[in-house]
Chain A
Amino acid sequence: MDTSPYIELRDVVFTRGDRRIFDGVSLDIPRGKITAIMGPSGTGKTTLLRLIGGQLRPDSGTISVAGENVPRLKRKDLYRLREKMGMLFQSGALFTDLSVFENVAFPLRVHTALPEDMIRDIVLMKLEAVGLRGARELMPAELSGGMTRRVALARSIALDPELIMYDEPFTGQDPIAMGVLIKLIRDLNSSMGLTSVMVSHDVQESLSICHYACIVADGQVIGDGTPEELREHPSQRVQQFLHGHPDGPVPFHYPAADAGQDWGIAGRGD
């Protein structure tokens, strides 16, 4: 079996406006495994997924997916490559004017010329896999948050992709919905042989299912390895993030002027 990484990032630099989001990020995402990318909010984890999917282009560096350098691809080749990728957006991003069934059927109708009864069979299979075969006639507005995400998951695996990217899959889910999602992510990965990339800041849930994790902060990878290796990681910043300590290398206080000055009680005699 091919053991080379499915996705390779090398020295990726990305700036948005005046802010440097990534400052030389290098990262390997192994084939057929679940990789969690974790980090504090606002460190550009979603941006990383968009870079991998080719929706954004880095200022410099290479991003290779399945051996193809994404930022260099022509539009047509990029769209072809995307047929091998599934992405689960944070909001689910279901098409609100289509029913659950039609949402899952959408990629099939666009990219294949399958006859209608075969599309129906595939859609029902995918919905069955996420446990929502019975909900096929509902409209997205009638679904709960957890169900929305499951339908979106069924839609993103409709074309049997090689890679699936999850953007904050656990955010805002109740414990049961979270358990369902964890089970689905794990099952899909093992049964379909998918390469899964998960962006999240839910440390415990992510570490419980991933084979490999890395932590991104301040535009850099500050720690990576298997969940066990990370738990033993010597870096204080990694430990602060994993355990959620309020103060540490990432300070509790936003940088501010000298406190005495703000309250006007210091510096009189100086």
Chain B
Amino acid sequence: MEKLASFGRRGLDILASLGRSGRFLAGVVGGVPKPSVGFPLLLRQLYSIGVLSLAIIVVSGLFIGMVLGLQGYTILSDYGSEAAIGQMIALTLVRELGPVVTALLFAGRAGSALTAEIGLMKTTEQLSSMEMMGVDPLRRVIAPRLWAGFIAVPVLAAVFSVVGIWGGMMVGVEWLGVFEGSFWGNMQSSVSFTSDVLNGVIKSIVFGFVCTWIAVYQGYDCVPTSAGISSATTKTVVYSSLAVLGLDFVLTAVMFGDF
């Protein structure tokens, strides 16, 4: 009985938390500050969330593209079809690895930072004092960060894919000697804008939305102690990663599944 009760309590806690996060999201998205106030705030967040994440995205994209080039070459050359390497790298990156790995890296690099920053602002009563000054922290603090995340992740994912393709080309064409014309030619003829590129962009928009939402909500809802912030940061990374991987399966099934 005891176990059943605690199981039920946890279920209720989870539902309550989901409800709170939904109301929280409505409060944030519903209240857009005046452009003259909001735009500078958004720019600052775009810089700290987006621009500062560029380094890790570019480096990871480069290495993943290079690895794809190497692996693809060894597998495809067994069948004598190493010319298809461009197509393979591009499709892998644009459809899957670009959005997914970007979102995972984003959750670790920027999401955790968002949670810790907002959590610490809560712990040091900065959010409360803002409220007491008649300023809604949801609009002033949370909204710019949320929008910056929405905007930054798709752009970062695009950068990731582009750098990855370039890295794959360096390995495939420059190093392993695949003919450059067939590398690009195969890619152009097989990657379609609507079904591949656009679907990838949709994925990254969804992931950006989910990751940033989780990050700001965990910060805002954290227990205002050092232990609370640490557990909120952990939750951000874990929940974001799981949500991205799970959603990726669902989205892939809907977009590319043939049923």
Chain A contacts to B: CB under 8 angstroms: 50, 53, 55, 79-80, 82-83, 85-87, 89-91, 93-96, 106-107, 110-111, 152, 155-156, 159
What are 24 A-B contacts defined by CB distance under 8 Å? A53-B132, A55-B128, A55-B131, A55-B132, A79-B136, A80-B134, A82-B131, A82-B133, A82-B134, A85-B132, A87-B129, A87-B132, A89-B125, A91-B124, A96-B124, A96-B126, A107-B133, A107-B134, A110-B37, A110-B133, A110-B134, A111-B134, A152-B129, A155-B133
Q: Is the CB–CB distance between B132 and A90 below 8 Å?
A: no
Q: Is the CB–CB distance between A93 and B126 below 8 Å?
A: yes
Contacts of B37 in A (CB 8 A): 110
Considering only residues 57-88 of chain B, those with a C-beta below 8 Å from chain A are none
Least distance between B156 CB and chain A CB atoms (Å): 23
Does B135 belong to the interface (CB within 8 Å)? yes
Q: Is the CB–CB distance between A89 and B129 below 8 Å?
A: yes
Least distance between A5 CB and chain B CB atoms (Å): 21
Contacts of B126 in A (CB 8 A): 93-96
Contacts of B136 in A (CB 8 A): 79
Tell me the count of chain B residues lying within 8 A, CB to CB, of chain A.
Answer: 13
B124 in complex: contacting residue of A82, A86, A93, A156, CB < 8 Å: A93
B128 in complex: contacting residue of A86, A89, A156, CB < 8 Å: A89
Q: Is the CB–CB distance between B129 and A93 below 8 Å?
A: yes
Contacts of B131 in A (CB 8 A): 53, 55, 82
Chain B residue with Cβ nearest A82: B134
10 extra interface residue pairs, beta carbon distance < 8 Å, beyond A86-B132, A110-B133: A82-B132, A82-B133, A89-B129, A90-B125, A91-B124, A93-B125, A106-B133, A107-B134, A110-B135, A111-B134
Least distance between B145 CB and chain A CB atoms (Å): 13
Q: Once the chains are docked, how many angstroms separate the CA of A115 from the CA of B125? A: 29
Q: Is the CB–CB distance between B134 and A91 below 8 Å?
A: no
Q: Once the chains are docked, how many angstroms separate the CA of A90 from the CA of B129? A: 11
Chain B residue with Cβ nearest A109: B37
Q: Once the chains are docked, how many angstroms separate the CA of A110 from the CA of B36? A: 11
Q: Is the CB–CB distance between B134 and A79 below 8 Å?
A: yes
Least distance between B118 CB and chain A CB atoms (Å): 12
Chain B residue with Cβ nearest A107: B133
Q: Once the chains are docked, how many angstroms separate the CA of A80 from the CA of B140? A: 16
Considering only residues 105-133 of chain B, those with a C-beta below 8 Å from chain A are 124-126, 128-129, 131-133
Q: Once the chains are docked, how many angstroms separate the CA of A87 from the CA of B125? A: 11
Chain A residue with Cβ nearest B44: A97
Contacts of B124 in A (CB 8 A): 91, 93, 96
Q: Once the chains are docked, how many angstroms separate the CA of A79 from the CA of B135? A: 7
